[in-house]
């Protein structure tokens, strides 16, 4: 009986065993990354930039040098959770925070976003998909415009998973709409033979998908909000290079990019 049982057990050859081991390792890595990510606030408190980065890169002379350069232009940093949504969340928080005190920018922004749902429906987005995200987004925008929101309330709202993610989703949809409306231009930024609709369905609209230049260009153009991104990398230059989106725009939002991640910067 024992021999028969052993013979009936499935055999796993070396190749299959290696595949199973690889899958197990990848699953463990994913769980570790999720645990680390979940332990980080969606949007963190404002921190002293030089002190924070010097401590982080104490044994890294290249990044320490670049942290000093960055500190000559910015005095604070606000971290965001590294969950694939960091660009959209950082953009939204930084710009909403600006609108709390910079009322001159509010009307133009409100005019754009208030009609954004109709623009998306015109492009073929289903209304029932948009409704809840649009209403949550506009509720926050209108509270900011009425003066009925404090810095602390904005911080609390963005660390509420449900509300914060609804804002991110709606910005992803606005970005997708811009890319599809001006597809002839933006197709130049896409590798391969994908249609713009396919690209948006796969790389823009889903949550937790990381953002690239094309996302930043499209969102900043759609909302008419200038974004300056400082790129901190291992290049030879002692300076942290900046790119403005759209090109030539006055930046209202300042972000720090380190490979795969965006945080918020505050000027001197």
Residues acting as catalytic residues: 83, 86, 261
Asked if 222 and 177 count as a contact pair (C-beta separation under 8 A), the reply is yes
Asked if 154 and 162 count as a contact pair (C-beta separation under 8 A), the reply is no
| Residue at token pair 């492009």 | 123
CA dihedral (132, 135, 137, 139) positive or negative? negative
Question: What's the chain's Rg over C-alpha atoms?
Answer: 22
- Of 213, 256, 206, 258, nearest to 77 by C-alpha is 256
| Residue at token pair 């998909």 | 129
Helix (H, G, I), strand (E, B) or coil at 213: helix
As a whole number of angstroms, the distance between CA 164 and CA 24 comes to 32
Angle at 257 between CA 156 and CA 204, to 5 degrees: 75
147 class by beta-carbon count within 10 Å (0-12 exposed, 13-18 middle, 19+ buried):
exposed
Long-range contacts of 125-131 (CB under 8 A, 24+ apart): 125/173, 125/177, 130/170, 130/173
Instruction: Look at the chain and count its residues.
Output: 268
């Amino acid at each position: 009986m024992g021999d028969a049982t052993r013979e009936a057990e499935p055999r796993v050859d070396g190749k299959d065993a290696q595949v199973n081991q690889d899958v197990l390792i990848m699953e463990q890595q994913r769980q570790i990354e999720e645990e680390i990510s979940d332990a980080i606030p969606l949007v963190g408190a404002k921190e002293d930039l030089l002190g924070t980065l010097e401590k982080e890169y104490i044994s890294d002379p290249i990044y320490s040098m670049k942290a000093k350069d960055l500190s000559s232009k910015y005095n604070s940093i606000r971290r965001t959770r590294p969950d694939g949504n960091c660009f959209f969340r950082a953009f939204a928080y930084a710009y909403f925070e600006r609108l709390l005190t910079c009322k001159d920018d509010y009307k133009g922004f409100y005019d754009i976003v208030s009609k954004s749902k109709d623009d998306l429906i015109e492009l073929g987005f289903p209304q029932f998909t948009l409704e809840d995200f649009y209403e949550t987004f506009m509720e926050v925008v209108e509270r900011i415009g009425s003066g009925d929101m404090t810095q602390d309330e904005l911080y609390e709202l963005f660390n509420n998973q449900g509300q914060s993610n609804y804002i991110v989703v709606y910005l992803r949809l606005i970005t997708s709409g811009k890319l599809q409306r001006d597809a002839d231009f933006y197709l130049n930024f896409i590798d391969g033979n994908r249609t713009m609709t396919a690209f948006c369905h796969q790389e823009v609209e889903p949550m937790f998908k990381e953002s690239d230049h094309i996302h930043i260009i499209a969102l900043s153009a759609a909302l008419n909000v200038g974004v300056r991104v400082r790129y901190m990398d291992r290049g030879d230059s002692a300076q942290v290079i900046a790119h403005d989106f759209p090109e030539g725009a006055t930046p209202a939002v300042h972000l720090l990019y380190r490979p795969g991640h965006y945080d918020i910067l505050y000027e001197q």
